[in-house]
Structure formats: C-alpha cells, structure tokens
Amino acid sequence: MSADSEQRTIRCLIAKVGLDGHDRGAHVISRAFRDAGFEVIYSGLHRAPDEIIQATVQEDVDVLGISILSGAHNTLVPKVMDGLEEYGALDDTLVIVGGIIPEEDRPGLLEEGVDAIFGPGTPMQETIDFVKENAPERA
C-alpha cells in the first residue's frame, strides 16, 4: 500500500456566517478543496454562529473554514470560537478564516484561536498546503 492510499480524507466545513451574502469565494475554495481530495460540506448563506458550531460538531470536521466579507468578523468569529471551545471541539478543529480582514483585526482573531487568515488573492495552493500540513490527526 502506498503512502498516498493510506492518507486519510480531510473533512472540511466551509461556512458563511452572519448576513454576508457574498459566496463566490466560499464556492471557489470549496471546489479547490474538493479537487485537492478533501471532503467538503458547504453551510450555505446566512448561518448563525450556533448553526456553524452545531454543524462543525455534528459533522465531526477536521477543518472549519469561515468565509466572511461583511466586516462583522470581530463579532461573529469569536462567537464561533467560544462555541467550539464550549463543545470541546476547538482543540481538534483547524479553524481558518477567509475574506476581507483588515491587518489591524488579524491579531485579535488569532488570539481567539483562529489558526490562519487568508485574504483576497491568496493562492489556492497556499491554503490547500496549509490545511494538509495542519489538519488535526484523527485516530
């Protein structure tokens, strides 16, 4: 058996939280992740933080990708992070955020536990490689 055939499939939830109706980036990254061999679940638009938390826990995903362009990242992302921590899912979930996140807001999100932030123009392969290198190991 080759190393590639032994490699597990990484499960990802791509989430659109809040009232943000711009989903092109979420669709693009979902397709890129799928093409990279990841299993991808897309939340759809206008999801409340609690819905994202529940989906993350119930689907037992390895990676939660939050796509947000509305400017509400400093309010919504911490709510998701708190909920994941409350359910004991934060330590075994890689959380990445994509979208328009001003440089001055990034340190606060990283302090909340976000593992990486990818802005517009980030090469898809960079994001894919980050996920492959950092997705939690599962038994």
pLDDT tens for 11-70 read 999 999 988 888 899 999 999 999 999 999 999 999 999 999 999 999 999 999 999 988
The pairing of strands 116-118 and 11-16 is: unpaired
Check residue 19 and give its pLDDT: 85
Give, in order, the Cα–Cα distances in Å from 52 to each of 1, 31, 93, 124: 37, 20, 13, 23
Check residue 139 and give its pLDDT: 61
With cut-offs at 50, 70 and 90, classify the pLDDT of residue 5: very low
Encode 20-35: b = buried (16+ Cβ within 10 Å), e = exposed.
beebebbeebbebbee
Kindly state the average pLDDT of the residues 88-112: 96
Q: What percent of the chain has pLDDT over 70?
A: 94
Global pTM?
0.93
Kindly state the average pLDDT of the residues 109-120: 97
Are 12 and 61 a contacting pair, CB within 8 Å? Answer: yes
Check residue 8 and give its pLDDT: 81
* CATH superfamily label, 11-134: Cobalamin-binding domain (3.40.50.280)
Q: Locate the domains of the chain by residue range.
A: 11-134
